[in-house]
Amino acid sequence: MKAFVLIAALGLPSAAFAVDKLSGGEALYQKHCQDCHGVDRLGAMGPALFPENLSRLRKNKAAKVIANGRIATQMPSFKATLSSQQIDSLVDYVYTPAKTVPSWTIEDIVASRIEHFDQSKLPNEPQFDADPMNLFIVVELGDHSATLLNGDTFEPITRFKTRFALHGGPKYSPDGRFVYFASRDGWISKYDIYNMKTVVEVRAGINTRNLAISSDGKYAIVGNYLPHSAVILDTTDLSPIKLIAVADKNGKTSRVSAVYNAPPRTSFIVALKDVKEVWEIPYSDNGGEERFPIKRITTEDFLDDFFFDPQYINLIGASRDNKNGQVINLDIGKKIATVPMNGMPHLGSGITWDYQGKQVFATPDIKDGRVTIIDMESWKVIKEIKTDGPGFFMRSHSNSPYAWVDVFFGPHKDRVHIIDKATLEIVKTITPAPGKTAAHVEFTKDGKYALLSIWDNDGAVVVYDAMTLKEIKRIPMNKPSGKYNVYNKTKYERGTSH
Ligand code: DHE
C-alpha cells in the first residue's frame, strides 16, 4: 500500500503502478468503496465484495459496473474518477480471497438488526381487500423490488424495495401474514403482508444461500457459504437463537448448500457442500437439554441439491458433478437406492404427481435438454422427455393436468414446454416473448391459472388459463424471477417447490 501511495504521489506512469497492483487495489478500495461496501469488504449499504459473493459476475462485467455504475442501485459511475488500470486493479482486489475466512459472529448478527416498525402496534388484519391466501409475492430482480399481487384479479396491491440480489424462494409464516426474504449478502427481511411493511431485518451471514421457516412459524434457519455457518433465528424479532459453526465430525468445515423445513418431521434439513454429511435439526421443544441438536447422516458422496418425497421420509440428493442421485431414508439415516441420472438434474425444482397409480418425481436438467421422470417406488427412471434446452424450474398443481417446464439456457430460452401428466408427452410449447427468457411458473390457489415470468428488465408476468393454455393477462414487471402463492406454499402443494 505504501508503495502505491508513493508512486501516486510521484505521479509515475501506470506501468510503475502495476508493480504493486494488488495493494494498489486495496488502497483504492479503502478510498472509493469502503464507505458503501464496508471495512474489509464485509458489505454495508452495498454488497460484500469477496470472490464467493461475486461468483456470478465475470471480471470484465465487474469492471463495467465500476466504470458505469449499476442502474436501479446506488452504485455510481467511476469512469471520471478512476483510470482503466485502476479499475482493473480494484477488480483484482475484490476477486482475491480474504486472507482468513471472514467471521460473522452472533454479536455481529445482533448488531446488524434493524427494527423498522413495532409489530405489536400494527393491525392484525389485511389493510387491503383480497383473499389473503391467494396472494402472490413476485420477486423483481431488475430493480431489487417485489410486488404483492392479488391472485384473483391479478392487480398489483403494492410494490416495495427489497435487499440487493434476493435468492431462493421467500418463505411464508404458516398463517400467510409474514414473508421472509434472504439476500445473497446475508440479509433476512421480515415483511408484514397485512400491513405492507418490512418490519425487521437482520444480517445472518456474509454470503447466504437461503432460509427456511419451521412449521410452527417460530424459527427461521439460514444457511451460509460465508462464514461456514447455519443460524437459527426467532421469527418474532429475527434475534439469533443459535449460531452453528458447520463442520463434519472430524472438524472439517463446510459451506451450507441449502436449508429446508421438513414439516412432518418438525425438523430442519441442512445440505452441506464440502463434507459428506447431511444434517437433520429437530426444532420441536421436546424438553431435551440441547436445543436444536444436530443429527448427522453420513453420505457416500457430496450432496448439495435435494428433493424430498411428499412424506419427507426420503430425500434424493445429487452433487453438481455426479451423474447419480442418491436416495437417503431419513428415518434410518442411510442410502436406500441410487437413481441413475444423466446430465445435471435440478432436483430442487423437482415436483411429484400420480401416474398410472404410482407416484412419480420429475426434474429438469440444467445441463441438457431433458426432463427425467422417476418412479418413486422402484427409484427407476421411467422416461426422459427431450426438451428444447436445459431447464431450471418446473411446476404444476394438483388440480392441473399439466406440468410446465422452462428452457432457461441456450438459443430457445424464450420457450416453455407444457407436459401432459397422464401421457408424459409435451403437448404444447409456448414462446410468450420471442428473444426473451421465459421462466418459472406458479399456479393460483385453485390451480386454474398459471403465472409465468418474462425474465427481462422490460419483462412481465403473463397469466394463462391453466386448462385452455390461453393467455389472459400481461402485467409489466422489471425482470420478475420467482413468484410464490401463499396457499400453495403454506400448504406444501405437490406441484410447487418448498
Ligand atoms: Fe437458485 C432456489 C441453488 C442459481 C433463482 N436455488 C434455489 C434453491 C437452491 C438454489 C438450493 C432452493 C432454495 C430455496 O428456495 O429456499 N441456484 C442454486 C445454485 O446452486 C445455483 C445454480 C448457483 C448459485 O450461484 O447459487 C443457483 N438461482 C440461480 C440463478 O442463477 C437464478 C436463476 C437467478 C438468481 O436469482 O440468482 C436462481 N433459485 C432461484 C429462484 C429460486 C431458487 C427464483 C426459488 C425457486 C422456487 O420456485 O422456489
Equal fold, 7-94 vs 355-485+493-498 = no
50-62 burial string, b = 16+ CB within 10 Å, else e?
Answer: bebbbeeeeeeeb
The verdict on the CB of residue 348 being under 6 Å from ligand 1 is yes
Give the closest residue to 64 by CA, choosing from 45, 82, 39.
82
Q: 169 near 484, Cβ under 8 Å?
A: yes
Of 115-124, 255-264, 345-354, the least confident: 345-354
Residue with cell 486495496: 26
| String of DSSP letters for 369-384 | SEEEEEETTT--EEEE
The verdict on the CB of residue 205 being under 6 Å from ligand 1 is no
Q: How many helices (H) and strands (E) does the chain have?
A: 8, 33
Centroid of chain to Cα 240: 21
Dist. CA 482 → ligand 1 center (Å): 9
The verdict on the CB of residue 168 being under 6 Å from ligand 1 is yes
Residue of 58, 144, 164, 167 with the most ligand 1 atoms within 8 Å of its CB, for mutation: 167
**What would be the CATH architecture of the domain defined by 355-485+493-498?**
7 Propeller (2.130)
Q: 460 near 474, Cβ under 8 Å?
A: yes
pLDDT in tens, 459-486: 999 999 999 999 999 999 999 999 999 9
pLDDT in tens, 140-177: 999 999 999 999 999 999 999 999 989 999 999 999 99
How far is it, in rounded angstroms, from Cα 217 to Cα 235?
7
The verdict on the CB of residue 258 being under 6 Å from ligand 1 is yes
CATH fold of 7-94 reads Cytochrome Bc1 Complex; Chain D, domain 2 (1.10.760)
Dist. CA 214 → ligand 1 center (Å): 20
Strand runs (DSSP E) across 76-215, as ranges? 114-115, 135-140, 145-150, 156-161, 171-172, 178-182, 187-192, 197-203, 207-213
- Tell me the average pLDDT across 439-447: 98
- pLDDT at residue 188 tops 50: yes
DSSP helix, strand, coil percent of the chain (3-state; round to 5): 15, 40, 45
The residue whose CA has the least distance to atom 37 of ligand 1 is 167
* Residue 388 in grid coordinates: 428444447
∠ at Cα 187 (183, 191), nearest 5°? 90
DSSP state, 55?
T
Look up the pTM and report it: 0.90
- Spell out the domain ranges in the chain: 7-94, 355-485+493-498
Percent of the chain exceeding pLDDT 70 equals: 94
Dist. CA 166 → ligand 1 center (Å): 9
Dist. CA 209 → ligand 1 center (Å): 8
Of 2-6, 102-106, 156-160, 259-263, the least confident: 2-6
The verdict on the CB of residue 56 being under 6 Å from ligand 1 is yes
pLDDT in tens, 220-260: 999 999 999 999 999 999 999 999 999 999 999 999 999 99
